[in-house]
Amino acid sequence: MDSNVLFALGLTLFAGLATGIGSALAFFTSRTNTKFLAWALGFSAGVMIYVSMIEIFVKAKDALVAEHGDKTGYWLTVIGFFAGIAVIAIIDKFIPSAGNPHETKTVEEFHKEPERDEYARLKKMGIFTALAIAIHNFPEGIATFASAIQDPSLGIAIAVAVAIHNVPEGIAVAVPLYFATGDRKKAFKWSFLSGLSEPVGALVAWLILMPYLTDTMFGMIFAGVAGIMVFISLDELLPAAQKYDQTHLAIYGVVSGMAVMAISLLLLL
């Protein structure tokens, strides 16, 4: 197996398993650092937005313009970008908010002892949320893998951003299951497994998409990845960050994420 492929698969595994970090945090702390959460979610959004619009979209456009000319190539880039947005929006549409992993919650919300008739509901919610996360993480795995294959530094940036926003998703899976079953191991296992769809998406990209990865296919995938990242940032990360923001920490996080991404790209020139 090519070393670049191994590196890309490793990055997606790292990003996906960050859900396990979230569940561990939930079990070993009784309070959420909302200031840090607001900043971290904003930082993740800043990285995603900057890298999508400044790097990924431009790379997609360059590849498609080289293959199809200025006008057609630009049209295909825009179509791919909004197709990516449409895909992730449709996924969100069919997941009710009660089980949606992007409805970010705090540790405190889960540490309220449930009523007797709530145990079954909590168990169902935890399992459903785990499945929802798996569905959401699958295209993110493809995005991280494709980015890392084309540009390793870009893949690292995306993997870190995805990992940050996977941490609160781990909390959303693990704690309801823990209170429903009283079994920390089972709750952690579901949280851990839900993140594995990220490397599964990468494996699908490698085994199925790689043989057909022409310049046109690459350009369309990258354009779609840019759309997915922008949608996640605007629809999920920034609203979640604002929910816990008190002193503009979310926007400071956004600017910090953009600055770190910009400087890292400049240093790698």
Q: How many CB atoms lie within 10 A of CB 239?
A: 16
Is 198 marked as a binding-site residue? yes
Percent of residues, the chain, with pLDDT higher than 70: 78
Mean pLDDT of the chain: 78
Q: What is the mean pLDDT of residues 146-172?
A: 78
Domain count, the chain: 1
Contacts of 58 (CB under 8 A, 6+ apart): none
Full domain range(s) for residue 141: 3-267
Tell me whether residue 113 is annotated as binding: no
Sequence-distant (6+) residues with CB within 8 A of 67 are: 73, 214, 215, 216, 219
The confidence score (pLDDT) of residue 233 equals 84
**Any binding-site annotation on 137?**
yes
Residue 258 token pair:
């953009």
Q: Contact, 187 vs 177, CB < 8 A?
A: yes
The verdict on whether residue 140 carries a ligand-binding annotation is yes
Does the reported pTM lie above 0.75? no
Q: Is 111 annotated as a binding residue?
A: no
Look up residue 214 and give its DSSP letter. -
Among candidates 209, 190, 213, 71, which has minimal Cα distance to 139? 209
Q: What pLDDT digit, counting tens, does each position of 201-250 carry?
A: 889 888 887 777 777 888 888 898 889 888 888 887 788 777 766 668 88
Do the annotations mark residue 118 as ligand-binding?
Answer: no
